[in-house]
Structure 1
Amino acid sequence: MPFPVSLRFSPLYLALLCTFAAPAMAVQVTDNLDLGGAVRARWDYDPDRDIQKFGLDTVFLSAKYNSDTWIGEAQYRFYGRSYPYQYTRNYGDIQFAKYAWAGYRFNPDQQVQVGLNSVPFGLQPYFGSTFYETLGNVIGLEDVQQVGAKYIQQSGDWNVQAGYYLRPAWQGKGTSNGVTYSSVVSEADSYVTDGSDNQERHTVVLRVARALDLGPWKSEVGLSGLTSNIQNRDTDKDGRRNAVALHYLGKNGPWGVQLQAARQQMSPRNPGTDELVTFGGYDGTYNVASRGNLYVADLSYDVAGKYLFDQISGVKLYANYSAFDKSADDFKTSERAILGTSFSFSKLWIATEWIFGKNDPYIGGSSYTQSLGAGGTGHWENQLYMNIGYYF
């Protein structure tokens, strides 16, 4: 996929590409502790909105500790200046932790994690093969980290994960009330019409999954449930957030299938409408319908072999569809479809995706603050997206 001829590289981007060309420099501090990170660039192309942007996307630093008993992971991320954060002056003006937890392994099949860790809900670790992720991410169900404790147990074909989370992720640095990696219940910024000010506490989640063979398909089926308290800070009244999901994951040679159906139902005690709850993340806040069903389907194919003088490997082709069907009669359904591929090129990992969105806050400029609530423009938009990462 060629870059637009109008692309202009700053000295920062040139330094970035020189970094990409350098050899990997993972640091093993001890036999148990590894330090690493990544530098990632992104390319966005949307001719309908005259967007042709290439820039530094993410820098993150990570640490991982692993022994027979004690375990832990942490990752901290930096953003800013480049699209879509061109409104900030310096790189690093937006920053936050993705996760930061310590754990204890009782035996190879049992462990506990305490701190900012991943909430075990639905398909894990993501709702499909995509880099951009599904609509489950922006309604606060996919790739979510909160502060609490999680217990994991593997018993034969059964995997059980249970968590109690006191609160969502700590706020990082940015320009908005939604400065976290995860999409979480937040206080609305002033630009969000019909926004609310809720805080989520005491999240309890249980995920039970079983591995089994269905003919030639190596499969997993699972059921997840989540419940939490959402307190409105204007009315000082408590509401609830409940969610349940049924998922299937199957692998047959190079073919992969992931399916999920989920229901999210929130009963906020807002001073205004209870049909909306404001969420935030990645330096923004927006409204989400308080009640709706999420559907996800993902098909993937792993291409064997190496290509281009063995420089290209690990090629995956995938198609993903997600829809958020809201319960309110006058709210428009949000939809997202992604056709993409990911692969390794020398020391780089690259994902290229053609993304279609309808009433999607991130695709086509529909309506960032209202698409997941009442809806946006109501018609399909599309854009091309590429992420290029050097991981060390």
Structure 2
Amino acid sequence: MSKYVYRNMVVGLAIGLCTGLSPAVFASDLSLGDATSNLGQIELSGWLRAKYQDKDYSDSDQQLKFDAAKLTIKYDAKHLFGELEYRCYQSDTLCDLSTLVNANLGYKINAHDRVTVGLQNMPFGVGRSWGSSWYGSSLDNAGLEDVHNLGINYQHQLFDNTHIDLAYFVRDGGHYAGSGGDSARYSANFVRTDETDAPTLKEKNMWLARIKQDIAVTAVPDLKLGVGGSYWYSDLDNKDNGETGHRKAWTVFGQLGYQNANATFSIGQNNVDNKSLITPDYSTVGSFDSVYNVANKGNFYVADLNYQFKNIIDGYHLTPYVTYAIYDKDKSGFATSRRQIWGAQLDVKQLSFAAEYIIGKNDVFIGGNENSLVNGDGNGHSRLLNLLLMYNF
């Protein structure tokens, strides 16, 4: 079966599930079974998303069109759990990028320990996403945030407020159906390409550790504090010369919440040795059918603020947010990459509307080019208005 036939079958199934159910069914819980039983419970969720974009750096479609679809199936039982997440995106035609995001199964050892095997989010950073925006930060594009690879993760709850992850990932999450070859994937990974001078790298043997500590402030019960850190070490096979390099990355983070206000701060460092004599300062990364280069060494900073206005009108919830991300490269002459996102999301029943004003500088996806995350692009600040309409189920 060709990947295109497979893609069309999965897309048809997802759309059929979504369009074949009435709004009354969407409004209810799409689940079957009992999560406390041995047999367990299956829960279906997802969204359909349309977008309107206006750019100051290129021609804009200036029309509302289908953007993406997400389908998630979660399984939860007395001892087992699992998740399957599939997404498709439209660039030119319906679901011309179709990819798995998660496909894993886990076992609950006891109330404090569990293990997950399969395609899953890597425990690096404060969580899967480090900000509130839909577009994501530039660290997402650099392959440090929201990365899903193939491996095993052991989770342990030490005391009531301490959570530990110890993980090993054998390889990246692979590529799927799209026009970009090895870059037809959701997560940003090192990819094969003939478009740059950088070597083809294969990341493997990824060892990760993360600790998250919640801090209780009994005098102020509405105040929530959390701190943590994570470390990532891996082997990088240089397919051009047969040598093995390494990645060493770390991040520390903090979370602050008071009633409906939330803040998250992350700082860290990425250090990649690709064992290349030709391009020792950068490597080639791919995601969403795009191929681009990323500086091997740099420090990164991410700050995110949001506030939830609940029931501003009966059933209407509004969440404004701002995210600011920086990738500051070590090499002299490599310009710093920045992305700031000012946004707000309105939720009412099964509908969500998000508006994001994005400003990028030396940003590969906001007015930049394939070297924006290396030496920069010299284009100054570029701006994107990103409007999203979502139907959730």
Question: When the two structures are superposed, what TM-score results if normalisation uses the length of structure 2?
Answer: 0.87
Residue 223 (1) aligns with residue 232 (2): no
Shift of 1:50: 3.4
Aligned partner of residue 139 in structure 2, secondary structure? helix
Aligned partner of residue 306 in structure 1, secondary structure? strand
**Counterpart in 2 of 1:3?**
none
Alignment partners' CA distance in 2, 1:145 and 1:189: 24
**Counterpart in 1 of 2:368?**
366
**Counterpart in 2 of 1:69?**
79
In the TM superposition, what are the counterparts of 1:71-150 in structure 2 within 5 Å? 71-80=81-90, 85-86=91-92, 90-150=93-153
Code of the residue aligned with 1:294 in structure 2: it is F
Q: Which of the numbers 164, 171, 177 marks the counterpart of 1:160?
A: 164
Unaligned runs of at least 5 residues, structure 1: 1-14
CA-to-partner distance for each residue in 1:52-107, whole Å, 9 max, x for gaps?
A: 24211112322110012100000112223xxxx22xxx423321101100000122
Q: Which of the numbers 297, 317, 320 marks the counterpart of 1:317?
A: 320
In the TM superposition, what are the counterparts of 1:293-308 in structure 2 within 5 Å? 293-307=299-313
Q: Which of the numbers 262, 278, 285 marks the counterpart of 2:284?
A: 278
CA shift in 2, pair 1:189/1:62, >3 Å: farther
CA shift in 2, pair 1:304/1:77, >3 Å: closer
Contact 2:116–2:154, Cα closer than 8 Å, also in 1:
yes
Q: Which of the numbers 247, 257, 275 marks the counterpart of 1:241?
A: 247
Code of the residue aligned with 2:190 in structure 1: it is V
Shift of 1:311: 4.7
Contact 1:204–1:227, Cα closer than 8 Å, also in 2:
yes
**Counterpart in 2 of 1:171?**
175
Aligned partner of residue 136 in structure 1, secondary structure? helix
Residue 50 (1) aligns with residue 59 (2): yes
**Counterpart in 2 of 1:39?**
48
Aligned partner of residue 234 in structure 1, secondary structure? coil
CA-to-partner distance for each residue in 1:235-287, whole Å, 9 max, x for gaps?
A: 11100011000100110112211111010000002251110111111111110
**Counterpart in 1 of 2:383?**
382
Aligned partner of residue 206 in structure 1, secondary structure? strand
Code of the residue aligned with 2:211 in structure 1: it is V
CA shift in 2, pair 1:166/1:303, >3 Å: same
Residue 339 (1) aligns with residue 342 (2): yes
CA-to-partner distance for each residue in 1:113-138, whole Å, 9 max, x for gaps?
A: 00001101111131121111112111
Contact 2:125–2:230, Cα closer than 8 Å, also in 1:
yes
**Counterpart in 2 of 1:5?**
none
Alignment partners' CA distance in 1, 2:19 and 2:149: 36
Once structures 1 and 2 are overlaid, which stretch shifts more, 27-36 or 259-268? 27-36
Code of the residue aligned with 2:329 in structure 1: it is K
CA RMSD of aligned residues (A): 2.1
CA shift in 2, pair 1:23/1:58, >3 Å: farther
Contact 1:117–1:147, Cα closer than 8 Å, also in 2:
yes
CA shift in 2, pair 1:18/1:65, >3 Å: closer
Alignment partners' CA distance in 1, 2:99 and 2:375: 29
Shift of 1:157: 1.2
Shift of 1:232: 1.0
Shift of 1:326: 0.2
Alignment partners' CA distance in 2, 1:54 and 1:121: 35
Contact 1:188–1:279, Cα closer than 8 Å, also in 2:
no
Aligned partner of residue 140 in structure 2, secondary structure? helix
Code of the residue aligned with 1:125 in structure 2: it is R
CA shift in 2, pair 1:300/1:36, >3 Å: closer
Alignment partners' CA distance in 1, 2:21 and 2:258: 35
Contact 1:45–1:53, Cα closer than 8 Å, also in 2:
no
Code of the residue aligned with 2:234 in structure 1: it is S
Aligned length: 363
Residue 185 (1) aligns with residue 190 (2): yes
CA-to-partner distance for each residue in 1:286-339, whole Å, 9 max, x for gaps?
A: 1000000010111211113232xx3522x1111111100000101110000111
Contact 2:351–2:389, Cα closer than 8 Å, also in 1:
yes
Question: When the two structures are superposed, what TM-score results if normalisation uses the length of structure 1?
Answer: 0.88
Shift of 1:19: 8.9
